[in-house]
Amino acid sequence: MKHRILLLEDETDLGNVVKQYLELMDFEVDWHQNGQAALEAFIATPQAWHILLIDINLPEMDGFDFAQRMTKLQPQVPFLFLTARGEKKDRLHGLKIGADDYIVKPFDVDELVLRIKNILKRNQGIGHQAPNTIDLGGMRFNKDSLKLTDINGKETILTPLESDLLLHFYHNSNKVIRREDILHHVWGTSDYFVGRSLDVFVSRFRKYFQGNEHISIRNVYGIGFMFNLS
């Protein structure tokens, strides 16, 4: 089965190049140049795509707005931003929305394909491990639905990348985990901006586990983190 990609890119030349190259790599690509039109297509069939590639500067609706609306409809679908906006605040905002990656133009198309494949591999791996639900200090995480349920029954749907990071922490709980090992295991790379995204995800986890006395994430200066679970 071919993986199906929803591409949002308003630059005609770049959109054509990306679409044609991804199709040569055996992907199916649906290309939209307008944010509002892409959202309408997504609303009509929210489970039609395996991954989304989203530019930010789009007509009628920008990529950030599209992503926020899209994740409310289908929170489990992975997506990455593919944009000329490389400022730190834009990168962090994109990652906070839940993006699995943030790629700044100009970019190498072969690297783009590898990043897409890595994300799809992570996403497909979820749910094939047993047991399907793990206990986290009285909270529950279901690896099939990506659903984290706290002790009061409140449910949070994690992104596939959040799920991979949480499982890596869980399987290495109560010991020091090197930052480089986390980045290579979960992201497949350890460049500066991926390292910054790890910090964003750890901050997000601390909010998820706030008030749970059985879980804490401690920074180990110069080395990495310790995921304490009792």
Which domain CATH number covers 33? 3.40.50.2300
E strands, the chain, in order: 4-8, 28-32, 51-54, 79-83, 101-104, 133-136, 139-142, 147-149, 155-157, 176-178, 215-220, 224-229
Q: Look up the CATH number of the domain holding residue 155.
A: 1.10.10.10
pLDDT in tens, 9-45: 999 999 999 999 999 999 999 999 999 999 999 998 8
Of 103, 125, 147, the last residue of a domain is: 125
Question: How far apart, in whole angstroms, are the C-alpha atoms of residue 106 and residue 214?
Answer: 45
Q: What is the mean pLDDT of the chain?
A: 88
Q: What is the mean pLDDT of residues 86-91?
A: 88
Strand order in the sheet with 224-229: 176-178, 224-229, 215-220
Which residue type sits at 221?
Y
Structural domain including 35 reads 4-125
Kindly state the tokens that stand for 97.
């929305």
Q: What is the pTM of this model?
A: 0.59
State whether 96 and 202 are in the same domain. Answer: no
Q: Is the pLDDT of residue 67 over 50?
A: yes
Res 188: pLDDT: 81
